[in-house]
Amino acid sequence: MKQSTLFPKTRKEAPKDAESINHKLLVRAGFIDQLMAGSWTLLPLGWRVVTKINQIIREEMNAIGGQEMLMPLLHPKEIWKETGRWDKAEEILYKLKDTRDKEYALSFTHEEIVMDLLRKNITSYQDLPVYVYHFSTKFRNEPRARSGILRGREFMMKDLYSAHTSEEDLMKYYEIVMGAYSKVFNRLGFNFRITEAAGGVFTDKYTHEFQVLSDTGEDEILYCDSCDWSQNKEIFSGDRGNPCQKCGKGKIIQAKSIEVGNIFPLGKWYAEKMGVNFTGEDGSKKPVWFGSYGIGPTRVLGTLVEVNHDDKGIIWKKEVAPFDVHLLDIRTRDKAQSAKKIDDSLQNEGIEVLWDDRDVSAGEKFAEADLIGIPVRLVISEKTGDKIEWKERISDKAELLTLDEIISKLHNGD
């Protein structure tokens, strides 16, 4: 893509009210725009990254049998009354009335909707288990929406739901989802801890949060420096000075973190409230066992920036970068022809190119390339001759390579 056509242009200054790093850098580099507190547009660059994050999540959900679908966002009041969450979740639930005084909720999650689907479609144990998920918007009336795109009042979530004939089957799948989530967050390059936590308005039972270690995080966790034990500070009741209660050796570290995922073994509560039953092998009617599992792709976008940046701008990992390479033509004469050829050849190889074809100074092009943060920068200048300069965003070292060498380097991923 030609950078001269990219919407919008980058900005020199961050918005005055921006407090967090992801807010400042993502807005300056042209990835997101704030409509009002907690409400964001994913601009073309931001949408490219979120699409890649979603694809990683989708692959891992499909690998554990998840079936993708799409549920509505406008829900009738009655369905939320069935579980009592119309009142229980009042603080975060957006409620609205139409001109005929009918009341609705804007979705803050979808357990009730999935339960209704199961109620209409499940009769016997042979219809279970069910694994369904979707990517969609969630609305929550968040009291503090100050951490940039980490906390929206309207944000994107991938939520998976599973229904089972027994607690044993639910817990077996819960472990499988935990593994799939770990794969997602490893592919995203996060340093994370799977952390025991409370269930909020979802369940009285424990849940597991996926917490990315980051000094800018709003959450605090305690974790063992030698085994996998970790608890959210909200539920921790031990003594910080003592060795780890699980392995007996490790030291307990307290650290700030960002919650990027949360899984909930919800049990029978929802099925009992909503009358979602199946006929067992023995002929008796039983409530289904239920679990839900969420990841916030837009929060992941912001978290990637919080943990991968420097004073010049964002540093994308190649798995989620908006483009594979940033091609900068900084010649003042003989322009365009050979850059276009390079752009075409790379694209023919399936490589995504952002080609800075604009008439601006070399200094400006370099600064913007660092701000946008595409992992590989390719420069053609008066000095590069028939070669091209290759420089990675994470390194200061540049080297001169032929186009063929560049293509094979990009394909081999080294």
Residue from 117, 262, 315, 388 touching ligand ATP (CB under 6 A): that is 262
Q: Which C-beta is closer to ligand ATP: that of 108 or that of 278?
A: 108
Helices (H), 297-381: 297-307, 337-348, 362-372
Q: Which does 299 bind (CB under 5 to 8 A by kind): Mg ion, ligand ATP, none?
A: ligand ATP
Its sign, for the CA torsion 189, 195, 201, 202, is positive
Of 302, 196, 213, 197, residue with least CA distance to 257? 213
CB 259 within 8 A of CB 219: yes
Q: Which is nearer to ligand ATP, 88 or 97 (CB)?
A: 88
By beta-carbon proximity to ligand ATP, the closer residue of 60 and 368 is: 60
Taking the least distance from each CB to ligand ATP, the nearer of 190 and 323 is: 190
- Does 142 bind ligand ATP (CB under 6 A)? Our answer is yes
Query: What φ, ψ does residue 79 adopt, rounded to 5°?
Result: -70, -30
Q: Which of 148, 255, 250 is nearest to 192 (CA)?
A: 255
Q: How far is the CB of 54 from ligand ATP (least distance, A)?
A: 13
By CB under 6 A, the residues from 169 to 228 that bind ligand ATP are 200
Q: Is 267 in the site for ligand ATP (CB under 6 A)?
A: no
Residue of 271, 298, 305, 370 interacting with ligand ATP (CB under 6 A): 298
Residue 293 or 355: the one with the smaller Cβ distance to ligand ATP is 293
Give the residue ranges of DSSP H helices in 64-126: 77-83, 85-88, 111-121
Q: What is the DSSP string of 112-171?
A: HHHHHHHHHH--BGGG--EEEEEEEEEE---S---SGGGS-SEEEEEEEEEEESSHHHHH
SS3 at position 369 = helix
CA 14 – CA 32 distance, rounded (Å):
12
Residue 151 as a binder of ligand ATP (CB under 6 A): the answer is: yes
Distance CA 369, CA 363 (A): 10
Nearest residue to Mg ion, scored by beta-carbon proximity: 262
Q: Locate 353 and state its tokens.
A: 């190119």
337-348 and 403-412 helices, crossing angle to 10°: 30
- 152 or 313: whose CB is closer to ligand ATP? 152
Of residues 31, 80, 131, 155, which one binds ligand ATP by CB under 6 A? Answer: 155
Q: Which does 375 bind (CB under 5 to 8 A by kind): ligand ATP, Mg ion, none?
A: none
Q: From CA 105, how far away is CA 142, in angstroms rounded?
A: 15
Please select the residue that binds ligand ATP; options are 122, 170, 212, 260, rule is CB under 6 A.
260
Tokens of 352: 């995504």
Among 109, 165, 262, 298, binds Mg ion (CB under 5 A): 262
Residue 410 interacts with which of Mg ion, ligand ATP, none, CB < 5 to 8 Å by class: none
Nearest residue (CB) to Mg ion, 20 versus 262: 262
Q: Does 295 bind ligand ATP (CB under 6 A)?
A: yes
The option from Mg ion, ligand ATP, none interacting with 232 (CB < 5 to 8 A, set by class) reads none
Which of ligand ATP, Mg ion, none interacts with 128 (beta carbon under 5 to 8 A by kind)? none
94/48 Cα distance (integer angstroms): 29
In the region spanning residues 79 to 118, those forming contacts with Mg ion, defined by CB under 5 A, are none
Q: At what angle do helices 21-28 and 297-307 cross, to 10 degrees?
A: 100
Q: Determine which residue in the list 299, 326, 365, 393 makes contact with ligand ATP, applying CB under 6 A.
A: 299
Q: What is the C-alpha separation between 213 and 398, in angstroms, rounded?
A: 31
Q: Which of 157, 184, 372, 388 binds ligand ATP (CB under 6 A)?
A: 157
Binding-site ranges for ligand ATP (CB under 6 A): 140, 142, 151-152, 155, 157, 200, 259-262, 294-296, 298-299
Binding-site ranges for Mg ion (CB under 5 A): 262
